[in-house]
Amino acid sequence: MSGHSKWHNIRLRKGAQDAKRGNLFTKLAREIIIAAKTGGGNPETNTRLRLAIQKAREHSMPQENIRRSIMRGTGELEGEAYEEVTYEGYGPGGVAILVECATDNRNRTVANLRSIFNKHGGRMGESGSVSYRFRPVGLIVIPRTAVEEDRLFALAIEAGAEDMRTDEENYEIVTQPEDFAKVRQAIEDAGIPMLRAEYTMEPLDLVHLEGKEAQQMLRLLERLEEDDDVQHVYANFDIADEVLEATEG
């Protein structure tokens, strides 16, 4: 399983802890604001906004918060002017890391990120230093219990999917970004439940980590995720399952 998939699964299992930290609604609101700012306030014509609203509802974000976030994005309500910024860096063992942020103060954000990287065995990189090691894709995750593999594969490929992968629990459908909305809609129309449907960055190569470096990497990514300005973190690591299990113990 790719580093992205492993880290994403860790994040799902840590969901309750994330909510307790109190920054979950902040991140959800900023994603809605930026989605509405860049694509308009109508979720029917703005796929990114529709996904952001869906994710907010899945985490029980109040409808009024969602509505106000949309209005802030479209300029109907005053508020902080957030912008999207992507920072690049290296983790232990030379792992490539992309950090997507939504910030109203670049100086604060970059200072916080540099401190987190330095404290946990990493370092910030220049623009373009690691981004070439990732590619943008659409990712749809479906539980294996929801549908037969042959049926899902045929449906996804016909709708324009690039590939479908299978592990013990889930199917992962990968699309080109421009085909994501069409493939997602076809799956939704077929009544097949989805665990996740999102735009993401997929690593093109993996760096295997063990021991101290593996532990450092997980702590670094956790600290990055905790920062209010950070929306998404992508890294091209590969860590043995037993190391991941030990961190959850």
pLDDT on residue 182? 94
pLDDT level of residue 246 (50, 70, 90 thresholds) = low
Cα distance between residue 148 and residue 151, in whole Å: 5
- For the stretch 176-221, pLDDT in tens is 999 999 999 999 999 999 988 989 999 999 999 998 999 999 999 9
For residue 218, the number of C-alpha atoms closer than 13 Å in the C-beta half-sphere is 24
Structure tokens at 137: 């894709």
- What's the burial of 40, exposed, middle or buried (CB within 10 Å: 0-12/13-18/19+)? middle
Residue type at 238 in one-letter notation: D
pLDDT level of residue 167 (50, 70, 90 thresholds) = confident
Cα distance between residue 205 and residue 175, in whole Å: 18
What pTM, to 2 d.p., does this model score? 0.85
